[in-house]
Structure 1
Amino acid sequence: MSTEHNESAPKRHLPGHIVAALAQAGSPADSAGQSWDGRDLSGEGNPLHNFDKDDGSADAKVMAALTELQAGRGSELEVHKAMSSARVFVAVVAQLGEEAMGDHGFAADKEADMALVKIKAPDGRMALPIFTTVERLQAWHKEARPVAVFAPRAALSAVSEDCQLLVLDPGSEFTFVLRRPGVWNLAKQIEWIPSYQNQQIANLVQNATEGFTQLQAVKLAPGRGVGSRTKDGQVVLGGGSGPELNLQFVFAQGTSPSQAQEITSAIQGRLSQNSEFTEAVDSLELSLHSAPS
């Protein structure tokens, strides 16, 4: 992923809850570039945030869910559950805004605006990076200022900034990507069931296939992009940016390729007009198979 640099983009304002967190985070002397090593992050006068008794370390439930996922025993659903009550850090940087007009009509130095750091995913979508610890944030972006928020608030920020992905701990040993439906549900503070495990989505797909006698079965499976890798190359069955859902169509013997393609296109058309399906499925891939003889 690459950091977004767009000097011609229109000026954007930070979400209100991020502004409030910054206002309560201490004086400008605690901004990016100053070491947080050895600082007490708990209690009143907290230089980073208002999370009382918070030492800035990673949320234990999130780390446990990520560990289980990497070990092959956990799931994306469990990571989402852990994030629903977790504190995370977002990265905020100062960027030059418009020139201010000084006394006697002379242009003064440009004003500095605070902005959330966003990144661009390989598929072109915008993503909001979030971090489990201050150390991981500053290892990734040394000039950024860490601001602590609850993960659902970070998801709200992502939505308001037109980001479809949350990227947890980019640049670390394991980076977990939460895709758009998970981001939206986290922002709404409701449970998220990945589409490939969601029985309601399976029912919608089944309804969309009615009337096609050549189609013998439809199976839902994780898309090729659901999986991810740790920094050392270990395959993890979750945390990828997509495609999220793989629909496997099994056609009767004798169905021609053109017939199979026509049926598949018709089913896609039905699903694309179903708002419940399009909101719950981040990205889709199709696999066409012939039934065994």
Structure 2
Amino acid sequence: MAKRELPGHIAAALAGAGGAADSAGQPWAGRSLEGEGNPLHQFDKDDGQPDPGYTAAAAALVSGEGSEADVVASLATARVYVAIVATLGEEAQSAHGLAADKEADLALVTLTAPDGRKALPVFSSVDSLARWHPKARPVAVYAPRAALSAVSEEAQLLVIDPGSDVTFVVRRPAMWALAQQREWIPCYADPSLPGVVSEAAAQEPAVRQVQLSAGSGVVSRTAGGTLVSGGGSGPELRVTLQLAPGLDASGLQTVAAALQQRLAAHPEFVERVDSLELKITR
């Protein structure tokens, strides 16, 4: 059998790293990492296609048959891709006359949302990542691991498939739930939050009634303009206050500011609510 030679660029890279053998002196040449006993990583058979569970949940949301909670639940077991960009810090020439990266940095690609918050883009497929950033390298991870990476990067949002037909934003509470591998309940459907808000509002004599509902920023649109009842990045929770008549503009502002201050100091509310809008009625 003919001797199996390493490609020149690989041989040069190995020589620059200390030789054509591993730390035990076993040669790299002729080795194969293929086969059942030699998986490269847990996604070595990955075909780069979207996770079927996530695809189905996103399609159901667009059609009006699913919910935000269903999409986040599908991500709990979904493989996604994060985008990594290599930046050359210093370039040198190897002993073989080839250009070599003497120093390079790998970094996660992050975004800045319209409201100024940091976001981590995540992709359901290799193709969607390549369309968004052709020079980025896809790294396959489970979505909960991507959520952990977002937390470590101090990001407040996960953005699934930016620039694609369906872009879904996972807000901070859902992102934290994914990272902790626990179920997420949208704050506008959380049965414990009306009591929290009502207790805070009860300290204002002018408040007659409190109602919670989904905020105006929950909805999103597909690239084609179809309205979707979830996946948006704007205000997540709407608190409607019915006030007693007779308050002027200054009085209304005082009541609203006092309620917002109390809610911002409530740990449970802060943990479960990403963003808030107040609506005042008479």
Q: Distance in 2 between matches of 1:283 and 1:44?
A: 49
> Unpaired runs of 5+ in structure 1?
1-26, 28-40, 103-107
Matched, 1:91 2:83: yes
Q: 1:279 to 1:112 in 2, by over 3 A?
A: same
TM superposition shift of 1:45: 6.5
AA paired with 1:253? P
1:123 to 102, 105, 115: 115
Task: Say if 1:132 and 1:168 are closer, same or farther in 2 by CA, change over 3 A.
Answer: same
Partner AA of 1:177 in structure 2: V
Q: Which digits, 9 at most, give the CA deviation of each residue in 1:44-84, with x for residues without a partner? A: 7677x522543221111111111111111211111110001
2:233 equivalent among 241, 249, 252:
241
Which residue, 152, 170, 181 being the options, matches 1:178?
A: 170
Alignment-derived partner of residue 229 in structure 1: 221
Give 1:277 deviation, angstroms.
0.9
One-letter identity of the residue aligned with 1:149: V
1:189 has 2:175 as partner: no
After superposition, the Cα gap between the structure-2 partners of 1:247 and 1:146, relative to the gap in structure 1 and judged at 3 Å, is same
Query: Which residue does the alignment assign to 1:269?
Result: 261
TM-score by length of 2: 0.80
Equivalent of 1:287 in 269, 279, 282? 279
TM superposition outliers: structure 1 runs of 4+ over 6 Å: 41-47
Whether 2:249 is the aligned partner of 1:257: answer yes
Paired residue type of 1:154: A
Unpaired stretches in structure 2, ≥5 consecutive residues: 1-9, 11-33, 95-99
In structure 1, distance between residues paired with 2:36 and 2:132:
27
Give the structure 1 partner of residue 65 of structure 2.
73
Per-residue deviation, 1:260: 2.6
Contact in 2 for aligned 1:42/1:53 (Cα 8 Å): no
Does the Cα contact within 8 Å between 2:75 and 2:143 map onto a contact in 1? yes
1:252 to partner: Cα distance: 2.2
Residue 152 (structure 2) aligns with: 160
Q: 1:159 to 1:99 in 2, by over 3 A?
A: farther
Question: Can you list the C-alpha shifts for 1:13-65, whole angstroms capped at 9, x where unaligned?
Answer: xxxxxxxxxxxxxx9xxxxxxxxxxxxx9967677x52254322111111111
Cα distance in 2, alignment partners of residues 45 and 131 from structure 1 = 27
- Kindly tell me the number of residue pairs found equivalent between the two proteins: 244
Match of 1:199, SS?
A: coil
Matched residue type, 1:257:
A
Q: Which moved more, 1:236-245 or 1:146-155?
A: 236-245
What corresponds to 2:142 in structure 1?
Answer: 150
| 1: CA distance, partners of 2:146 / 2:81 | 8
Deviation of the 1:125 alpha carbon: 1.1
How many Å separate the matches in 1 of 2:233 and 2:273? Answer: 12
Once the two structures are TM-superposed, the CA of residue 206 in structure 1 deviates from its matched residue by 1.1
Q: TM-score, normalised by structure 1?
A: 0.77
Q: Residues 70, 140 of structure 1: CA spacing in aligned structure 2 closer, same or farther, 3 A cutoff? A: same
